[in-house]
Amino acid sequence: MSETITKLEGVRVDLKANIYFDGKVVSHSIFEKNGDKKTLGLIYPGSYTFNTGKAELMVITSGTCKARLAGEKDWKSYIEGDEFRIPGNSSFEISVDQGIAEYLCVFE
């Protein structure tokens, strides 16, 4: 998924938002025709920790952020078009210093 994604076609979207950290991270669940689930969301300035069940591919679709996977010491920076993978049954921290980071999360 190395190209910047600009749109998804033929999907079903849940209108009820997933709201985390007092509204500072907001996403909507999207379902492909085959039933595969993704989330599309916004991350406002701050630092947040998420736990994973399934492995995830995070694609930054706009803005900038930093992320650190469980057990890693260093943060890595990401810009529009970058992506990173998070193992299943793990966690990661994500931080936005300014502006809004937009993302697509693909459950693998």
Angle at 57 between CA 31 and CA 46, to 5 degrees: 100
- Is residue 91 included in any domain, yes or no? yes
**The one-letter amino acid at 14:** D
Q: How far is CA 76 from the centre of its chain?
A: 15
In this prediction the pTM is 0.91
Question: Which range marks the domain in which residue 19 is found?
Answer: 13-107
Q: How many domains, in total, are found in the chain?
A: 1
Which pLDDT does position 45 carry in this prediction? 98
pLDDT exceeding 70 applies to what percent of the chain? 95
Q: What is the CATH number for 93? A: 2.60.120.10
- Is residue 3 included in any domain, yes or no? no
CB 89 within 8 A of CB 49: no
CB 28 within 8 A of CB 39: yes
Q: What would the pLDDT profile of 69-79 be if each residue is shown by its tens digit?
A: 999 999 999 99
Q: Torsions phi, psi of 22, nearest 5?
A: 55, 35
- Is residue 5 included in any domain, yes or no? no
- Is residue 7 included in any domain, yes or no? no
Sheet holding 91-96, edge to edge: 46-51, 91-96, 64-69, 76-79
